[in-house]
Structure 1
Protein backbone atom coordinates (compact mmCIF):
# COMPACT_ATOMS: atom_id res chain seq x y z
CA UNK A 1 0.00 0.00 0.00
CA UNK A 2 1.05 3.58 -0.63
CA UNK A 3 0.17 6.45 1.68
CA UNK A 4 0.89 9.82 0.08
CA UNK A 5 0.24 12.85 2.24
CA UNK A 6 0.56 16.58 2.23
CA UNK A 7 2.45 17.79 5.29
CA UNK A 8 1.65 21.30 6.54
CA UNK A 9 -1.86 21.60 7.99
CA UNK A 10 -2.45 17.90 7.25
CA UNK A 11 0.11 15.92 9.28
CA UNK A 12 2.28 18.66 10.79
CA UNK A 13 1.16 22.06 12.08
CA UNK A 14 2.83 25.38 12.68
CA UNK A 15 2.07 27.37 15.82
CA UNK A 16 -0.48 29.44 13.92
CA UNK A 17 -2.26 26.34 12.63
CA UNK A 18 -2.30 23.87 15.54
CA UNK A 19 -5.61 25.24 16.85
CA UNK A 20 -4.76 24.49 20.50
CA UNK A 21 -2.32 26.00 23.03
CA UNK A 22 1.28 25.00 22.43
CA UNK A 23 1.51 23.35 25.85
CA UNK A 24 -1.44 21.03 25.14
CA UNK A 25 -0.58 17.42 26.06
CA UNK A 26 -0.03 15.07 23.13
CA UNK A 27 2.03 17.35 20.87
CA UNK A 28 5.44 16.25 19.57
CA UNK A 29 7.92 18.60 17.86
CA UNK A 30 8.15 17.86 14.12
CA UNK A 31 10.42 20.69 13.03
CA UNK A 32 13.00 22.62 15.03
CA UNK A 33 14.79 25.63 13.54
CA UNK A 34 17.58 27.38 15.47
CA UNK A 35 16.51 25.59 18.63
CA UNK A 36 12.88 26.70 18.32
CA UNK A 37 9.96 24.38 17.59
CA UNK A 38 8.16 25.70 14.51
CA UNK A 39 5.80 22.79 13.82
CA UNK A 40 4.21 19.90 15.70
CA UNK A 41 2.57 16.54 15.06
CA UNK A 42 0.20 14.84 17.45
CA UNK A 43 1.69 11.99 19.45
CA UNK A 44 -1.07 9.59 18.46
CA UNK A 45 -0.76 10.40 14.75
CA UNK A 46 3.00 9.93 14.92
CA UNK A 47 2.68 6.55 16.61
CA UNK A 48 0.31 5.31 13.90
CA UNK A 49 2.50 6.75 11.16
CA UNK A 50 5.59 5.01 12.55
CA UNK A 51 3.74 1.71 12.74
CA UNK A 52 2.46 1.96 9.17
CA UNK A 53 5.68 3.31 7.65
CA UNK A 54 7.38 0.03 8.56
CA UNK A 55 4.84 -1.90 6.49
CA UNK A 56 3.86 0.34 3.55
CA UNK A 57 5.30 2.95 1.20
CA UNK A 58 4.85 6.30 2.94
CA UNK A 59 5.49 9.37 0.80
CA UNK A 60 5.46 12.97 2.02
CA UNK A 61 4.05 15.19 -0.74
CA UNK A 62 4.63 18.88 -0.10
CA UNK A 63 4.72 22.31 -1.67
CA UNK A 64 7.81 23.02 0.43
CA UNK A 65 11.09 23.48 -1.38
CA UNK A 66 13.76 20.80 -1.06
CA UNK A 67 15.56 22.84 1.60
CA UNK A 68 12.36 23.48 3.57
CA UNK A 69 11.47 19.79 3.49
CA UNK A 70 14.92 18.74 4.68
CA UNK A 71 14.64 20.90 7.79
CA UNK A 72 11.68 18.82 9.07
CA UNK A 73 13.47 16.76 11.71
CA UNK A 74 10.65 14.23 11.82
CA UNK A 75 11.37 13.00 8.30
CA UNK A 76 15.13 13.10 8.64
CA UNK A 77 15.41 11.34 11.99
CA UNK A 78 12.24 9.48 13.03
CA UNK A 79 10.24 8.43 9.97
CA UNK A 80 12.63 8.38 7.00
CA UNK A 81 10.79 7.75 3.72
CA UNK A 82 12.43 6.25 0.63
CA UNK A 83 10.51 8.69 -1.56
CA UNK A 84 9.47 12.29 -0.96
CA UNK A 85 7.81 14.70 -3.35
CA UNK A 86 8.68 18.37 -2.84
CA UNK A 87 8.22 21.66 -4.68
CA UNK A 88 4.54 20.81 -5.29
CA UNK A 89 5.58 17.87 -7.46
CA UNK A 90 8.44 19.59 -9.22
CA UNK A 91 11.04 17.46 -7.45
CA UNK A 92 11.15 13.83 -6.34
CA UNK A 93 13.69 12.73 -3.74
CA UNK A 94 14.77 9.09 -3.84
CA UNK A 95 16.59 8.17 -0.64
CA UNK A 96 17.18 11.90 -0.17
CA UNK A 97 18.66 12.47 -3.65
CA UNK A 98 16.94 14.57 -6.33
CA UNK A 99 15.66 12.59 -9.33
CA UNK A 100 17.22 14.72 -12.06
CA UNK A 101 15.36 12.99 -14.89
CA UNK A 102 12.03 13.93 -13.31
CA UNK A 103 13.15 17.50 -12.68
CA UNK A 104 14.21 17.89 -16.31
CA UNK A 105 10.92 16.46 -17.58
CA UNK A 106 8.93 18.87 -15.39
CA UNK A 107 10.98 21.83 -16.61
CA UNK A 108 10.26 20.95 -20.23
CA UNK A 109 6.54 20.51 -19.50
CA UNK A 110 6.43 23.95 -17.87
CA UNK A 111 8.06 25.52 -20.92
CA UNK A 112 5.50 23.87 -23.20
CA UNK A 113 2.39 24.53 -21.14
CA UNK A 114 2.76 27.81 -19.25
CA UNK A 115 3.61 31.42 -19.93
CA UNK A 116 7.02 32.63 -18.75
CA UNK A 117 7.47 33.07 -15.02
CA UNK A 118 8.21 36.77 -15.50
CA UNK A 119 4.85 37.30 -17.21
CA UNK A 120 3.00 35.49 -14.44
CA UNK A 121 4.74 37.57 -11.78
CA UNK A 122 3.92 40.81 -13.59
CA UNK A 123 0.21 39.89 -13.54
CA UNK A 124 0.39 39.25 -9.80
CA UNK A 125 2.26 42.50 -9.18
CA UNK A 126 -0.44 44.42 -11.07
CA UNK A 127 -3.02 43.27 -8.51
CA UNK A 128 -1.10 42.67 -5.28
CA UNK A 129 0.41 45.94 -4.10
CA UNK A 130 3.95 46.09 -2.79
CA UNK A 131 2.78 47.15 0.66
CA UNK A 132 0.66 44.00 0.92
CA UNK A 133 3.66 41.72 0.29
CA UNK A 134 5.75 40.63 3.26
CA UNK A 135 8.10 38.43 1.24
CA UNK A 136 8.39 36.84 -2.20
CA UNK A 137 10.22 33.70 -3.30
CA UNK A 138 10.74 31.95 -6.62
CA UNK A 139 10.83 28.43 -5.22
CA UNK A 140 13.26 25.89 -6.67
CA UNK A 141 12.99 27.87 -9.95
CA UNK A 142 9.50 26.45 -10.42
CA UNK A 143 6.79 28.57 -8.76
CA UNK A 144 6.19 31.71 -6.70
CA UNK A 145 5.27 32.05 -3.05
CA UNK A 146 4.16 35.44 -1.75
CA UNK A 147 3.67 35.93 1.99
CA UNK A 148 1.02 38.64 2.19
CA UNK A 149 -1.17 40.66 4.52
CA UNK A 150 -4.22 38.57 3.68
CA UNK A 151 -6.77 41.01 5.10
CA UNK A 152 -5.56 43.62 2.62
CA UNK A 153 -6.14 41.48 -0.46
CA UNK A 154 -9.13 42.33 -2.67
CA UNK A 155 -10.48 38.81 -3.06
CA UNK A 156 -12.63 39.56 -6.11
CA UNK A 157 -9.60 40.95 -7.92
CA UNK A 158 -7.56 37.96 -6.81
CA UNK A 159 -10.23 35.68 -8.31
CA UNK A 160 -10.07 37.56 -11.63
CA UNK A 161 -6.28 37.39 -11.50
CA UNK A 162 -6.49 33.64 -10.94
CA UNK A 163 -8.74 33.27 -13.97
CA UNK A 164 -6.34 35.22 -16.17
CA UNK A 165 -3.35 33.24 -14.91
CA UNK A 166 -5.29 30.03 -15.51
CA UNK A 167 -5.58 30.95 -19.17
CA UNK A 168 -1.77 31.21 -19.22
CA UNK A 169 -1.18 27.82 -17.61
CA UNK A 170 -0.69 28.96 -14.00
CA UNK A 171 -2.76 28.11 -10.90
CA UNK A 172 -3.37 30.26 -7.83
CA UNK A 173 -3.82 29.05 -4.26
CA UNK A 174 -4.26 31.26 -1.20
CA UNK A 175 -3.42 29.39 2.02
CA UNK A 176 -3.41 31.53 5.13
CA UNK A 177 -0.88 34.30 4.45
CA UNK A 178 0.72 32.45 1.53
CA UNK A 179 -0.25 33.12 -2.06
CA UNK A 180 1.04 30.41 -4.41
CA UNK A 181 1.41 30.94 -8.16
CA UNK A 182 2.20 27.58 -9.75
CA UNK A 183 2.55 26.31 -13.35
CA UNK A 184 0.01 23.65 -14.32
CA UNK A 185 2.77 21.10 -15.01
CA UNK A 186 4.08 21.44 -11.44
CA UNK A 187 1.53 19.34 -9.60
CA UNK A 188 1.43 16.63 -7.01
CA UNK A 189 -0.64 14.10 -8.95
CA UNK A 190 1.78 13.68 -11.87
CA UNK A 191 4.66 13.18 -9.45
CA UNK A 192 2.81 10.68 -7.29
CA UNK A 193 1.64 8.70 -10.30
CA UNK A 194 5.24 8.56 -11.54
CA UNK A 195 6.39 7.11 -8.22
CA UNK A 196 3.39 4.81 -8.08
CA UNK A 197 4.41 3.26 -11.40
CA UNK A 198 7.89 2.78 -9.95
CA UNK A 199 7.04 1.09 -6.66
CA UNK A 200 4.16 -1.10 -7.96
CA UNK A 201 2.19 -1.02 -4.71
CA UNK A 202 -1.59 -0.96 -4.28
CA UNK A 203 -3.86 0.62 -3.21
CA UNK A 204 -2.99 4.29 -2.71
CA UNK A 205 -4.37 6.46 0.09
CA UNK A 206 -3.89 10.24 0.14
CA UNK A 207 -4.56 13.17 2.45
CA UNK A 208 -4.34 16.94 2.04
CA UNK A 209 -6.06 20.21 2.84
CA UNK A 210 -5.42 22.78 0.09
CA UNK A 211 -6.44 23.33 -3.52
CA UNK A 212 -2.92 22.28 -4.51
CA UNK A 213 -3.73 18.88 -2.95
CA UNK A 214 -6.91 18.25 -4.95
CA UNK A 215 -5.09 16.54 -7.81
CA UNK A 216 -3.24 14.34 -5.29
CA UNK A 217 -6.48 13.24 -3.64
CA UNK A 218 -8.15 12.68 -7.01
CA UNK A 219 -5.29 10.40 -8.09
CA UNK A 220 -5.68 8.13 -5.05
CA UNK A 221 -7.91 5.11 -4.53
CA UNK A 222 -8.88 6.44 -1.09
CA UNK A 223 -8.60 9.97 0.26
CA UNK A 224 -9.38 12.05 3.33
CA UNK A 225 -9.10 15.76 4.11
CA UNK A 226 -9.11 17.71 7.39
CA UNK A 227 -12.10 19.92 8.21
CA UNK A 228 -10.08 23.08 7.64
CA UNK A 229 -8.33 24.54 4.62
CA UNK A 230 -9.37 25.34 1.08
CA UNK A 231 -10.82 21.93 0.16
CA UNK A 232 -13.11 21.93 3.18
CA UNK A 233 -14.10 25.57 2.52
CA UNK A 234 -15.12 24.69 -1.03
CA UNK A 235 -17.20 21.77 0.21
CA UNK A 236 -18.90 23.91 2.87
CA UNK A 237 -19.69 26.62 0.34
CA UNK A 238 -21.35 24.08 -1.92
CA UNK A 239 -18.91 24.79 -4.74
CA UNK A 240 -18.03 21.11 -5.08
CA UNK A 241 -19.35 17.78 -3.89
CA UNK A 242 -16.49 15.50 -2.91
CA UNK A 243 -16.83 11.79 -2.30
CA UNK A 244 -14.04 11.44 0.26
CA UNK A 245 -14.55 12.04 3.99
CA UNK A 246 -13.45 14.94 6.18
CA UNK A 247 -12.24 14.76 9.76
CA UNK A 248 -14.51 15.86 12.59
CA UNK A 249 -11.78 17.86 14.34
CA UNK A 250 -9.81 20.74 12.85
CA UNK A 251 -6.23 21.63 13.71
CA UNK A 252 -3.37 19.39 14.76
CA UNK A 253 -5.55 16.58 16.09
CA UNK A 254 -7.21 16.16 12.69
CA UNK A 255 -4.09 14.10 11.94
CA UNK A 256 -5.23 11.50 14.49
CA UNK A 257 -8.39 10.86 12.45
CA UNK A 258 -6.45 10.91 9.19
CA UNK A 259 -4.04 8.26 10.42
CA UNK A 260 -6.89 6.16 11.84
CA UNK A 261 -8.51 6.26 8.39
CA UNK A 262 -5.26 5.20 6.69
CA UNK A 263 -4.81 2.39 9.20
CA UNK A 264 -8.35 1.11 8.50
CA UNK A 265 -7.64 1.03 4.76
CA UNK A 266 -4.39 -0.84 5.41
CA UNK A 267 -6.13 -3.40 7.64
CA UNK A 268 -8.93 -3.90 5.12
CA UNK A 269 -6.50 -4.22 2.20
CA UNK A 270 -4.29 -6.78 3.92
CA UNK A 271 -7.36 -8.78 4.94
CA UNK A 272 -8.31 -8.96 1.26
CA UNK A 273 -4.79 -9.91 0.27
CA UNK A 274 -4.04 -6.59 -1.43
CA UNK A 275 -0.63 -5.04 -0.79
CA UNK A 276 2.07 -6.27 1.58
CA UNK A 277 1.33 -8.72 4.38
CA UNK A 278 1.21 -7.36 7.94
Structure 2
Protein backbone atom coordinates (compact mmCIF):
# COMPACT_ATOMS: atom_id res chain seq x y z
CA UNK A 1 0.00 0.00 0.00
CA UNK A 2 1.25 3.50 -0.86
CA UNK A 3 2.44 5.90 1.83
CA UNK A 4 0.44 8.78 0.28
CA UNK A 5 -3.22 9.42 -0.49
CA UNK A 6 -4.51 11.60 -3.32
CA UNK A 7 -8.18 12.33 -2.64
CA UNK A 8 -9.68 13.59 -5.90
CA UNK A 9 -13.16 14.92 -6.55
CA UNK A 10 -14.81 13.66 -9.74
CA UNK A 11 -17.22 15.98 -11.51
CA UNK A 12 -15.57 19.11 -12.93
CA UNK A 13 -12.27 18.15 -11.27
CA UNK A 14 -11.34 14.86 -12.92
CA UNK A 15 -14.27 14.12 -15.23
CA UNK A 16 -16.42 16.50 -17.25
CA UNK A 17 -19.70 16.67 -19.10
CA UNK A 18 -19.65 17.87 -22.69
CA UNK A 19 -20.95 21.24 -21.50
CA UNK A 20 -18.25 21.75 -18.85
CA UNK A 21 -15.22 20.32 -20.68
CA UNK A 22 -14.36 23.51 -22.54
CA UNK A 23 -13.07 21.53 -25.54
CA UNK A 24 -14.73 19.30 -28.18
CA UNK A 25 -15.49 15.88 -26.72
CA UNK A 26 -14.26 14.13 -29.88
CA UNK A 27 -10.74 14.32 -28.50
CA UNK A 28 -11.71 13.08 -25.02
CA UNK A 29 -12.22 9.65 -23.51
CA UNK A 30 -15.78 8.77 -22.46
CA UNK A 31 -15.83 7.26 -18.95
CA UNK A 32 -19.55 7.30 -18.16
CA UNK A 33 -22.78 6.39 -19.92
CA UNK A 34 -26.39 6.82 -18.79
CA UNK A 35 -29.10 4.93 -20.66
CA UNK A 36 -26.51 4.20 -23.38
CA UNK A 37 -25.78 7.92 -23.82
CA UNK A 38 -22.25 9.24 -23.25
CA UNK A 39 -22.26 11.44 -20.17
CA UNK A 40 -18.78 12.16 -18.80
CA UNK A 41 -15.31 12.45 -20.27
CA UNK A 42 -11.64 12.57 -19.30
CA UNK A 43 -8.70 14.09 -21.07
CA UNK A 44 -6.34 11.43 -22.51
CA UNK A 45 -3.49 13.37 -20.91
CA UNK A 46 -5.25 13.13 -17.53
CA UNK A 47 -5.72 9.39 -18.06
CA UNK A 48 -1.97 8.93 -18.61
CA UNK A 49 -1.07 11.15 -15.65
CA UNK A 50 -3.53 9.31 -13.43
CA UNK A 51 -1.82 6.05 -14.34
CA UNK A 52 1.47 7.55 -13.15
CA UNK A 53 -0.15 8.86 -9.98
CA UNK A 54 -1.39 5.35 -9.22
CA UNK A 55 2.24 4.21 -9.06
CA UNK A 56 3.13 6.50 -6.17
CA UNK A 57 -0.12 7.20 -4.28
CA UNK A 58 -3.38 5.61 -3.26
CA UNK A 59 -5.79 7.51 -5.50
CA UNK A 60 -9.17 7.80 -3.78
CA UNK A 61 -12.10 9.12 -5.83
CA UNK A 62 -14.10 11.38 -3.52
CA UNK A 63 -17.56 12.39 -4.70
CA UNK A 64 -20.96 13.67 -3.63
CA UNK A 65 -22.51 11.23 -6.09
CA UNK A 66 -24.60 8.40 -4.71
CA UNK A 67 -23.10 4.93 -4.77
CA UNK A 68 -25.15 4.06 -7.86
CA UNK A 69 -24.05 7.23 -9.66
CA UNK A 70 -20.41 6.60 -8.76
CA UNK A 71 -20.60 3.07 -10.12
CA UNK A 72 -21.53 4.41 -13.56
CA UNK A 73 -18.02 5.84 -13.94
CA UNK A 74 -15.57 3.48 -15.61
CA UNK A 75 -12.12 4.61 -14.59
CA UNK A 76 -9.25 3.63 -16.83
CA UNK A 77 -6.40 1.77 -15.20
CA UNK A 78 -6.34 -0.27 -12.04
CA UNK A 79 -9.29 -0.97 -9.72
CA UNK A 80 -9.81 1.47 -6.84
CA UNK A 81 -9.45 -0.28 -3.46
CA UNK A 82 -11.13 2.70 -1.77
CA UNK A 83 -13.60 5.33 -2.89
CA UNK A 84 -15.76 7.87 -1.09
CA UNK A 85 -19.36 8.42 -2.21
CA UNK A 86 -22.38 10.33 -0.87
CA UNK A 87 -20.11 13.18 0.24
CA UNK A 88 -18.41 10.92 2.78
CA UNK A 89 -21.49 9.05 3.89
CA UNK A 90 -20.22 5.92 2.19
CA UNK A 91 -16.75 4.39 1.98
CA UNK A 92 -16.47 1.81 -0.77
CA UNK A 93 -13.94 -0.96 -0.18
CA UNK A 94 -13.19 -2.89 -3.37
CA UNK A 95 -16.40 -1.42 -4.78
CA UNK A 96 -18.72 -2.38 -1.91
CA UNK A 97 -20.10 0.01 0.74
CA UNK A 98 -18.46 -0.55 4.11
CA UNK A 99 -21.22 -1.33 6.67
CA UNK A 100 -19.13 -0.33 9.69
CA UNK A 101 -18.51 3.15 8.30
CA UNK A 102 -22.16 3.61 7.39
CA UNK A 103 -23.12 2.58 10.92
CA UNK A 104 -20.84 5.32 12.27
CA UNK A 105 -22.37 7.87 9.91
CA UNK A 106 -25.92 6.91 10.81
CA UNK A 107 -25.07 7.34 14.48
CA UNK A 108 -23.43 10.71 13.81
CA UNK A 109 -26.49 12.13 12.02
CA UNK A 110 -29.06 10.64 14.38
CA UNK A 111 -29.27 13.87 16.37
CA UNK A 112 -29.93 16.02 13.31
CA UNK A 113 -33.22 16.76 11.61
CA UNK A 114 -34.43 13.57 9.83
CA UNK A 115 -33.73 13.51 6.12
CA UNK A 116 -37.42 12.93 5.35
CA UNK A 117 -38.29 16.17 7.13
CA UNK A 118 -35.60 18.03 5.23
CA UNK A 119 -37.04 16.74 1.96
CA UNK A 120 -40.54 17.85 2.97
CA UNK A 121 -39.28 21.35 3.74
CA UNK A 122 -37.52 21.62 0.38
CA UNK A 123 -40.61 20.54 -1.54
CA UNK A 124 -42.90 22.80 0.51
CA UNK A 125 -40.76 25.85 -0.26
CA UNK A 126 -40.20 25.04 -3.93
CA UNK A 127 -42.04 26.36 -6.96
CA UNK A 128 -42.62 24.18 -10.05
CA UNK A 129 -41.51 27.17 -12.10
CA UNK A 130 -37.90 26.61 -11.08
CA UNK A 131 -37.76 23.21 -9.34
CA UNK A 132 -36.91 20.44 -11.79
CA UNK A 133 -36.51 17.61 -9.26
CA UNK A 134 -35.94 16.94 -5.58
CA UNK A 135 -34.20 13.80 -4.36
CA UNK A 136 -33.09 11.99 -1.21
CA UNK A 137 -29.62 10.55 -1.86
CA UNK A 138 -28.61 7.25 -0.24
CA UNK A 139 -30.99 8.01 2.68
CA UNK A 140 -28.45 10.60 3.84
CA UNK A 141 -28.99 14.00 2.26
CA UNK A 142 -31.17 15.91 -0.18
CA UNK A 143 -30.60 17.83 -3.35
CA UNK A 144 -32.79 19.92 -5.58
CA UNK A 145 -32.27 20.34 -9.31
CA UNK A 146 -33.26 23.88 -10.20
CA UNK A 147 -33.49 26.23 -13.14
CA UNK A 148 -30.91 28.89 -12.19
CA UNK A 149 -32.53 31.46 -14.47
CA UNK A 150 -35.85 31.43 -12.61
CA UNK A 151 -34.91 30.26 -9.09
CA UNK A 152 -34.88 32.92 -6.34
CA UNK A 153 -31.51 34.63 -5.90
CA UNK A 154 -31.73 34.11 -2.14
CA UNK A 155 -32.68 30.42 -2.30
CA UNK A 156 -29.51 29.10 -0.63
CA UNK A 157 -29.61 31.74 2.09
CA UNK A 158 -33.33 31.12 2.68
CA UNK A 159 -32.85 27.39 3.17
CA UNK A 160 -29.83 27.97 5.38
CA UNK A 161 -32.03 29.76 7.92
CA UNK A 162 -33.78 26.56 8.95
CA UNK A 163 -31.09 24.05 7.91
CA UNK A 164 -28.21 25.41 10.01
CA UNK A 165 -30.39 25.48 13.12
CA UNK A 166 -30.96 21.74 12.78
CA UNK A 167 -27.47 20.44 11.98
CA UNK A 168 -27.52 20.78 8.18
CA UNK A 169 -25.75 22.97 5.63
CA UNK A 170 -26.73 24.23 2.18
CA UNK A 171 -24.57 24.77 -0.90
CA UNK A 172 -25.12 25.13 -4.60
CA UNK A 173 -23.19 23.64 -7.52
CA UNK A 174 -24.58 24.72 -10.86
CA UNK A 175 -28.13 23.43 -11.18
CA UNK A 176 -28.03 21.47 -7.92
CA UNK A 177 -28.65 22.76 -4.40
CA UNK A 178 -27.42 20.34 -1.75
CA UNK A 179 -28.79 20.14 1.80
CA UNK A 180 -26.27 18.07 3.75
CA UNK A 181 -25.96 16.93 7.40
CA UNK A 182 -23.00 18.65 9.07
CA UNK A 183 -21.64 15.26 10.16
CA UNK A 184 -21.34 14.00 6.56
CA UNK A 185 -18.09 15.30 5.04
CA UNK A 186 -15.59 14.04 2.53
CA UNK A 187 -12.75 14.73 4.95
CA UNK A 188 -14.15 12.42 7.65
CA UNK A 189 -14.17 9.54 5.16
CA UNK A 190 -10.70 10.35 3.79
CA UNK A 191 -9.32 10.54 7.34
CA UNK A 192 -10.82 7.12 8.05
CA UNK A 193 -9.15 5.65 4.97
CA UNK A 194 -5.84 7.24 5.99
CA UNK A 195 -6.16 5.69 9.44
CA UNK A 196 -6.95 2.26 8.02
CA UNK A 197 -4.02 2.34 5.60
CA UNK A 198 -1.53 3.95 7.98
CA UNK A 199 -0.96 7.02 5.79
CA UNK A 200 0.17 10.00 7.91
CA UNK A 201 -1.67 13.31 7.74
CA UNK A 202 1.23 15.04 5.99
CA UNK A 203 0.97 12.56 3.10
CA UNK A 204 -2.66 13.33 2.20
CA UNK A 205 -3.25 15.68 -0.75
CA UNK A 206 -6.54 16.61 -2.36
CA UNK A 207 -8.32 18.28 -5.27
CA UNK A 208 -11.87 19.56 -5.74
CA UNK A 209 -13.94 22.40 -7.13
CA UNK A 210 -17.07 22.79 -4.97
CA UNK A 211 -18.12 24.05 -1.55
CA UNK A 212 -18.64 20.47 -0.38
CA UNK A 213 -14.95 19.86 -1.12
CA UNK A 214 -13.85 22.55 1.31
CA UNK A 215 -13.41 20.30 4.39
CA UNK A 216 -11.04 17.94 2.56
CA UNK A 217 -9.21 20.81 0.82
CA UNK A 218 -8.72 22.58 4.16
CA UNK A 219 -7.56 19.51 6.08
CA UNK A 220 -5.33 17.88 3.50
CA UNK A 221 -1.63 18.65 3.76
CA UNK A 222 -1.80 20.37 0.37
CA UNK A 223 -4.70 20.87 -2.01
CA UNK A 224 -5.51 22.26 -5.42
CA UNK A 225 -8.71 23.47 -7.05
CA UNK A 226 -9.45 24.31 -10.69
CA UNK A 227 -9.97 27.83 -11.99
CA UNK A 228 -13.67 27.14 -12.44
CA UNK A 229 -16.58 25.90 -10.35
CA UNK A 230 -18.24 27.02 -7.16
CA UNK A 231 -15.06 27.77 -5.22
CA UNK A 232 -13.76 29.88 -8.08
CA UNK A 233 -17.03 31.84 -8.10
CA UNK A 234 -16.61 32.39 -4.36
CA UNK A 235 -12.93 33.37 -4.83
CA UNK A 236 -12.18 30.87 -2.07
CA UNK A 237 -8.57 30.43 -0.98
CA UNK A 238 -6.71 28.74 1.85
CA UNK A 239 -3.07 28.90 2.99
CA UNK A 240 -2.31 25.38 1.73
CA UNK A 241 -4.40 25.68 -1.45
CA UNK A 242 -3.13 26.09 -5.00
CA UNK A 243 -5.29 27.11 -7.97
CA UNK A 244 -4.80 25.82 -11.49
CA UNK A 245 -3.92 28.29 -14.22
CA UNK A 246 -6.28 26.50 -16.63
CA UNK A 247 -10.02 25.87 -16.51
CA UNK A 248 -12.20 23.14 -17.97
CA UNK A 249 -10.73 19.78 -18.89
CA UNK A 250 -7.25 21.33 -19.17
CA UNK A 251 -7.39 22.02 -15.44
CA UNK A 252 -7.64 18.29 -14.71
CA UNK A 253 -4.34 17.72 -16.48
CA UNK A 254 -2.68 20.42 -14.40
CA UNK A 255 -4.27 19.13 -11.20
CA UNK A 256 -3.12 15.53 -11.61
CA UNK A 257 0.35 16.69 -12.65
CA UNK A 258 0.51 18.77 -9.46
CA UNK A 259 -0.62 15.84 -7.32
CA UNK A 260 2.13 13.78 -8.93
CA UNK A 261 4.71 16.32 -7.82
CA UNK A 262 3.33 16.47 -4.31
CA UNK A 263 3.23 12.70 -3.80
CA UNK A 264 6.74 12.10 -5.13
CA UNK A 265 8.29 10.32 -2.15
CA UNK A 266 11.90 11.00 -3.04
CA UNK A 267 12.05 13.82 -0.50
CA UNK A 268 9.45 12.28 1.81
CA UNK A 269 7.16 15.32 1.77
CA UNK A 270 4.27 16.29 -0.53
TM-score normalised over the length of structure 1: 0.90
8 Å Cα contact 1:127/1:157 also seen in 2: no
Instruction: Tell me what 2:234 maps to.
Output: 234
SS of 1:73's equivalent?
coil
Shift of 1:129: 1.2
Shift of 1:254: 0.6
Instruction: Tell me what 1:273 maps to.
Output: 268
Mapped pair 1:133 → 2:140 = no
Shift of 1:102: 0.6
The number of aligned residues is: 264
Q: Please report the RMSD computed on the Cα atoms of aligned residues, expressed in angstroms.
A: 1.6
8 Å Cα contact 1:120/1:170 also seen in 2: no
Instruction: Tell me what 1:22 maps to.
Output: 25
Q: C-alpha offsets along residues 180-239 of structure 1, whole Å, 9 cap, x if unaligned?
A: 11111111111111111111124011000000000011120010000111111111xxxx
Instruction: Tell me what 1:5 maps to.
Output: 8
SS of 1:155's equivalent?
coil
Q: C-alpha offsets along residues 57-100 of structure 1, whole Å, 9 cap, x if unaligned?
A: 110000111111111012xx534210000011000011112110
Question: How far apart, in 2, do the equivalents of 1:121 and 1:34 lie?
Answer: 27
Question: How far apart, in 2, do the equivalents of 1:167 and 1:153 lie?
Answer: 23
Instruction: Tell me what 2:170 maps to.
Output: 172
Q: Which residues in structure 2 correspond to 1:48-197 (within 5 Å)? A: 48-74=49-75, 78-112=77-111, 114-197=112-195
8 Å Cα contact 1:87/1:140 also seen in 2: yes
Specify every segment of 5 or more residues in structure 2 that has no aligned partner in the other structure, as ranges. Answer: none
Specify every segment of 5 or more residues in structure 1 that has no aligned partner in the other structure, as ranges. Answer: none
TM-score normalised over the length of structure 2: 0.92
